[in-house]
Amino acid sequence: MFYLYNQVAEMTPMERMMAALGGAKPDRVPVHIYPRWVPLEYLRLNFLQTWETPDLYVKAQIVGQERFQYDCVIDYDMMGPVEEALGTVLKYPENDVPMVKEPAIKTKEDMKKINWKIDPRKDGNMPKVLYVIRRLKEELIKRGGGKQHVPIMTWGSCPSRTVGCLLGFQKWFTIVVRDPDWAQELMELALDPWLEMVKAEVEAGADLVWVNDPVSSGDCISREAYERLTQPMERKFIEAIRRETGVPIIFHPCGNWHDRLDLIAQNQADGYFLGPMDIRLCVEKITEENKAGRARAKAINGNIGATSPCTADKKIPVPYATTLASGTPDAIEAECKEIIQVVEGSGLRSILGPNCWTPQGTPFVNIDAVVYAARKHGRLENL
């Protein structure tokens, strides 16, 4: 692609993202901000409007990427379509993602009543998500003159998070401690419905998958419970996605995972979208696991907010995505520069992004600052 401002040919976003996730050096570091709210706010839309009219969501994703020039678009990427089809009742706020209103499972008898063999192509709201992926693909190919230049990322929910939505999160934490056999049984049942959804998402046109777990951090369960119970199921799910689809996978450990970074790396993802954790420790642990042959990670996505004193002492809470939401463009550029140097200096590839979802209300100039930093400090000849 031809970049207007410096009059040189560049990789396409698709080429750039795929190179980084494959461990190769792209022309510059990619930028992936997990862009739900930025494009919606740019077009002055709320989430419910785009949920009720999916083509509005497609329009926002296409226009947002063209305006801000980050390197990946996403589908609805939301909690719930599979869990909803399995029986959890969701509520749909006007301007937030769906939330659990009524869990599907209250007793072991409820578990037996669920039809675990759902069809993503016709059950519940899953077809709506697939429609958005297909439309994104069509529009990207149209905008690209017959070729898709921007990758589409979709979401796959790991079994522990899925069961949390089916039970309610407090009950999930309770059974992890008091009834781990039931927890294991539920995760085994929950794996296949989301695997089928991911397969359908890739069939519809998704190019990348991210898998997240917000319920196995150090703030939720012990390292021992993670290692014994939920981490093996994360790895099983990720390996099944790779086997069934062949697309690159990014895993997002959401929250404070400092004491289990070695186990995270062993999940066999191609890249890790890291939360507000110390970037140097993250790089060190992932690199160690790679060298030992226990991991295959090629890239780290993030981690704006990861070079602050909060992350270094591992004790002071790091508010959600505060650097990107309330930092100045100069501070964001400096942080991006440091992240690029730390990650690329380790031999891993850097994909710039937030320390969790880019939150609502993030100033547009701060998104511009990230892309600017990638172009200025993340070019191949400087790394």
pLDDT tens-place values along the chain, 383 residues long: 545 555 567 899 999 999 999 999 999 999 999 999 999 999 999 999 999 999 999 999 999 999 999 999 999 977 789 999 999 999 999 988 889 999 999 999 999 999 999 999 999 999 999 999 999 999 999 999 999 999 999 999 999 999 999 999 999 999 999 999 999 999 999 999 999 999 999 999 999 999 999 999 988 999 999 999 999 999 999 999 999 999 999 999 988 888 999 999 999 999 999 877 888 889 999 999 999 999 999 999 987 865 444 444 445 554 445 678 888 899 889 889 989 999 999 999 999 998 777 888 899 999 999 999 999 999 977 76
Distance CA 281, CA 272 (A): 13
Which pLDDT tens digit goes with each residue over 163-190? 999 999 999 999 999 999 999 999 999 9
Residue 73: enclosing H or E segment and its boundaries? strand 73-74
**What pLDDT was estimated at residue 304?**
83
**What pLDDT was estimated at residue 278?**
82
Domain range summary for the chain, segments of one domain joined by + = 2-382
Distance CA 189, CA 337 (A): 44
pTM over 0.85: yes
Q: What is the C-alpha radius of gyration for the chain, rounded to an integer number of angstroms?
A: 20
Cis before 115 (ω within 30): no
CATH-assigned architecture of domain 2-382: Alpha-Beta Barrel (3.20)
Backbone angles phi, psi at 220, to 5 degrees: -115, -50
Write down the H helix ranges in 90-205: 108-113, 126-143, 159-167, 169-178, 180-204
| Contact predicate 324/362, CB 8 Å | yes
Distance CA 100, CA 162 (A): 11
Listed residue (226, 87, 77, 109) closest to 166, CA to CA: 87
Backbone angles phi, psi at 35, to 5 degrees: -90, 80
For Cα atoms 233, 235, 239, give the angle at the middle one, nearest 5 degrees.
120
Distance CA 171, CA 168 (A): 6
Instruction: Report helix, strand or coil for 349.
Output: strand
